[in-house]
Structure 1
């Protein structure tokens, strides 16, 4: 493990108000997205869609990294250039999703554990050879108003995240540690903050036990937000204050960057929340984004699988990247939506 290399990569991803495009949708997930625009989920359509995102001119000003799916890391551009090489040539670091998904946690009804540790050491070596500079593993924490999550589900997911992170650093790959407290359900803001704090405490306890160098990783947490079914929805300022209070208490300053997931929020809400958080700074870590749907949903709606729509789709993608970069500096305003 070269800690200096890990630190350099982690910092580069979030430097200069840059963030991450999460383009690591699994087969079933990308099929749902394509079904919504009535497009066949073929390998070529998946390749072409990712190529549209990766070749958007100017996106390198706002993106420090892109998380790829295994299939995508092995694909090439229309000109035959491997996607990892294409991204690297533009100063955007390629990453790779390495977990195999959340499965039911045995004997714990309603809870999940993420799998994929078996054979991970060997896969990481291959991914590094294919050009991956960082990786991502998502732990899923189910939440309700009272019973969930159990302390065991929190510990089990924290342990898996730490084992993954240690294997990544051993292989010379920066781990993105993603403990996601879901925003489904009817829990309120306070319940989300309480559970998020418990999860972060467990995660950093396990990372320390596994010897993970915090300077060579990034954290990808949920925002502290009320469940989508909660009658008590918080405003942007309340979400920002609760989230940063929770992180300030439980995330060590050695971590170079926090890159939020959007978690099912609209593109506009995810950007507004990020900007409001940065307005509360400065913080010891860079506070940025690692968005999938919040960057891509407007792009898919514009593209619809039609080549004649590519230029407009790329324009929309570039604008969303730019708006989230502004949010990293606390300079986004909702009045910017729709502006050229």
Structure 2
């Protein structure tokens, strides 16, 4: 797929975006959930080799290429890896009609003013250049909002847009992800502030350009409909944020025009000791459920 074809796939495809971008901090937990114990690997290289095997099994599974997964977010080591036939992962995804994205953030600072901002990204330009060389369409970067603190949320959203505009200049589509924690005691107020500041920040996007947004499923259904319909937003996708797949799908279905970008809720039933048939059946069932919840009218 070329860039225009990928843009059309994200804008109009009847499916969702799989989040396969677990990084160093979340990888041991993801492996344990997959049935790979901590004593099965030693050191980061072996750990990342194990998670790479899991991701390759997912992206090469027949059900993953059935048309219902329209995009996949990759960790950098996954982007640089190959499948058994020697194909780079982004190339394989593109051949299967799946738009590749790359996680580009370097983690987050500690909480300040109720929010965690992203750490600096001095290697962002080089990372984006390499992603384009490998046929990646866009990027994703995550920060977190814990409290309804106006200053913290404003800074959080502004930082997301600062980097997003740089990524647009590098020729990639940015997914901005200012996650509101499901554990927040002031979650509805935080979500309302996020909406206000995001609408303001979208004014900075140049005419003719668009960004994508990855947001926590809101406590008030269709709270983000203004963002879904905004001319400078290509797509609004939802993170599962700790919900089970059943819960996440139920909440997603209440929000017109949003599609899923689930990680844990997609992978929660997969196990390393499944045979290939069992694995594909379990993955296919999850894909069907998430795709169905994503197909609400805009």
C-alpha distance in structure 1 between counterparts of 2:221 and 2:206, whole Å = 24
Name the residue aligned to 2:276: 310
Q: Give the number of aligned pairs.
A: 286
C-alpha distance in structure 2 between counterparts of 1:251 and 1:16, whole Å = 15
C-alpha distance in structure 1 between counterparts of 2:118 and 2:294, whole Å = 30
Alpha carbons of structure 1 residues 196 and 212: separation in structure 2 relative to 1, 3 Å: farther
Name the residue aligned to 1:124: 128
Name the residue aligned to 1:114: 118
C-alpha distance in structure 1 between counterparts of 2:276 and 2:50, whole Å = 13
* Equivalent residue for 1:219, pick from 179, 202, 213: 213
Name the residue aligned to 2:203: 208
The structure 1 segments of at least 4 consecutive aligned residues displaced by more than 6 Å after TM superposition are: none
Say if 1:6 and 1:169, in contact at 8 Å, map to a contact too: no
Deviation at 1:215, TM superposition (A): 5.2
Name the residue aligned to 2:12: 15
Deviation at 1:117, TM superposition (A): 3.0
Deviation at 1:29, TM superposition (A): 0.6
* Equivalent residue for 1:88, pick from 94, 100, 108: 94
- What are the residue-to-residue correspondences of 1:1-340 with 2, within 5 Å? 9-36=6-33, 37-39=35-37, 40-41=40-41, 42=46, 43-60=48-65, 61-105=67-111, 108=112, 111-143=115-147, 149-185=148-184, 187=185, 191-209=186-204, 211-212=205-206, 216-225=210-219, 242-244=220-222, 246-249=223-226, 253-254=230-231, 255-278=233-256, 286-299=257-270, 303=271, 305-306=272-273, 309-330=275-296
C-alpha distance in structure 2 between counterparts of 1:297 and 1:212, whole Å = 39
C-alpha distance in structure 1 between counterparts of 2:227 and 2:60, whole Å = 38
Alpha carbons of structure 1 residues 324 and 46: separation in structure 2 relative to 1, 3 Å: same
TM-score by length of 1: 0.77
Deviation at 1:99, TM superposition (A): 0.6
Deviation at 1:27, TM superposition (A): 1.8
Alpha carbons of structure 1 residues 174 and 193: separation in structure 2 relative to 1, 3 Å: same
C-alpha distance in structure 2 between counterparts of 1:85 and 1:297, whole Å = 26
Deviation at 1:152, TM superposition (A): 2.2
C-alpha distance in structure 1 between counterparts of 2:59 and 2:31, whole Å = 18
Say if 1:14 and 1:64, in contact at 8 Å, map to a contact too: no
Name the Cα RMSD after superposition.
2.3
Alpha carbons of structure 1 residues 200 and 290: separation in structure 2 relative to 1, 3 Å: same
> Rg larger in 1 or in 2?
1
Residues 133-181 of structure 1: CA deviation (Å, up to 9, x unaligned): 11101121012xxxxx422211221121111211111111111111111
Q: List runs of 5+ in structure 1 lacking aligned partners.
A: 144-148, 226-241, 279-285, 332-340
Deviation at 1:82, TM superposition (A): 0.9
Alpha carbons of structure 1 residues 49 and 214: separation in structure 2 relative to 1, 3 Å: farther
Say if 1:222 and 1:261, in contact at 8 Å, map to a contact too: yes
Alpha carbons of structure 1 residues 111 and 58: separation in structure 2 relative to 1, 3 Å: closer
Alpha carbons of structure 1 residues 250 and 172: separation in structure 2 relative to 1, 3 Å: closer
Q: List runs of 5+ in structure 2 lacking aligned partners.
A: none
Say if 2:141 and 2:175, in contact at 8 Å, map to a contact too: yes
